[in-house]
Amino acid sequence: MTTATVNPMAPTERHRLYEDVLAMLSGTLFVSLGTLIYTKTMLTVGSTAGLALLMSYASGWGFGLIFFLVNLPFYILAVKRMGWGFTIRTFTAVALVSILSKLNGAWIDFSHLDPLYATIIGGGLIGTGLLMLFRHRTGLGGINILALYLQEKLGIRAGYVQLGVDLAILAAAFFILPADRLAYSVLGAAIANLIIAINHKPGRYMGLS
């Protein structure tokens, strides 16, 4: 029995426009739903989404607006390092998550959410949504941009880069969240980032956008 290998010199097939659009819509919907679940149970996650959640809890402002504003400075790095195509897709994805996170609150109402279940399903939704976006060369701003850049240039897995930064953000959450919610948030961040680290290895997925 022979084992199939990926030839790094083999031509890659570019995503079609409708594939990029479907991935954009699906990925941002998954992330926004996972974020809504976290908001309802006062959990947080890493990256700029986690930072926006913490700022939302501390200030009372809506997550969507804070998330959109926090990401603005990172587009400079995106243009310089990743190109206009990536930047435009990322800006669109951030805008969609900001809008959908507001709309989801009107579309869905939770009468009860167990914190552990919310941690697992919310982290799974966020990680899967980010995976969809990453595979179509789209980020969600902030640390996603840095993580994708380091993976493309240095071969460092995006999930591991994000996990390190996420732990720093979760350390800041110690001053805002109750101890049990902080523990759940650490688990949720690990779930989301392991999904990316396991499924988004350099050379494993060859599609381009």
Structural contact between residues 36 and 99, judged by C-beta atoms closer than 8 angstroms: no
Segment 153-177, tens digit of pLDDT = 777 777 677 777 777 787 888 888 8
Q: Under a CB-based contact definition with an 8 Å cutoff, are residues 196 and 131 in contact?
A: yes
pLDDT band at 204 (very low <50, low <70, confident <90, very high): low
Residue range 33-46, pLDDT digits in tens: 999 999 999 998 77
- pLDDT for the residue 3: 42
pLDDT for the residue numbered 137: 80
pTM of the model: 0.79
CB 38 within 8 A of CB 46: no
b/e burial code for range 117-131 (CB count within 10 A of at least 16 → b): ebbbbbbbbbbbbbb
Domain range list for the chain: 17-199
What confidence score (pLDDT) does residue 26 get?
Answer: 94
> What percent of the chain stands above pLDDT 70?
88
Residue 95 exposure: Cα atoms within 13 Å on the Cβ side? 7
